[in-house]
A = this chain, B = another copy of it.
Amino acid sequence: MARQITLDQAEAIVSACKQEALAVGQPMNIAVVDDGGNLVAFAAMDDTKLIGVDIAQKKALTAVYFQMDTKDLVPLVQPGAALYGIEATTGGRLVVFPGGVLLRKADGTVAGGVGASAGTVDEDDQVARAGAAAFSG
């Protein structure tokens, strides 16, 4: 397995997410997956919500599966849009709202994804984005 992200890098991403979540004032669940969609690092902050344990991981996974941020899936999955209904596919593993961000290496290669969950979708997206900004693979 030639993982495109190290545990050290994943933990640095989680750490940056935690800092941003503290700034936002909303304890989060934070997940980093590799380019195969497999979990590398996870942290549930104290006093977060249980819903995010699962969804943070699935946001990160979805970003990798689509090679795009989950925020950009939103218009595509609405009634009448091209991917309407896709969230019901793949055994309930996809998340189609903001908070999952794709991680790319400097050369453009997909390195993995980061997901955050427990706040509003805008807060989640902001926290995941702060994690991605801390990555330079």
Contacts and interface: CB of A to CB of B under 8 A. Distances in A.
A79 B34 CA distance: 31
Interface in A32-75: 34-51, 53-55, 58, 64-67, 74
Given A92-B92, A109-B2, A7 B78 contact: no
A86 B48 CA distance: 18
Contacts of A91: 54, 91-92
Chain copies in the assembly? 4
Contacts of A80: 78
A94 to B, nearest CB: 7
A17 interface: no
A133 interface: no
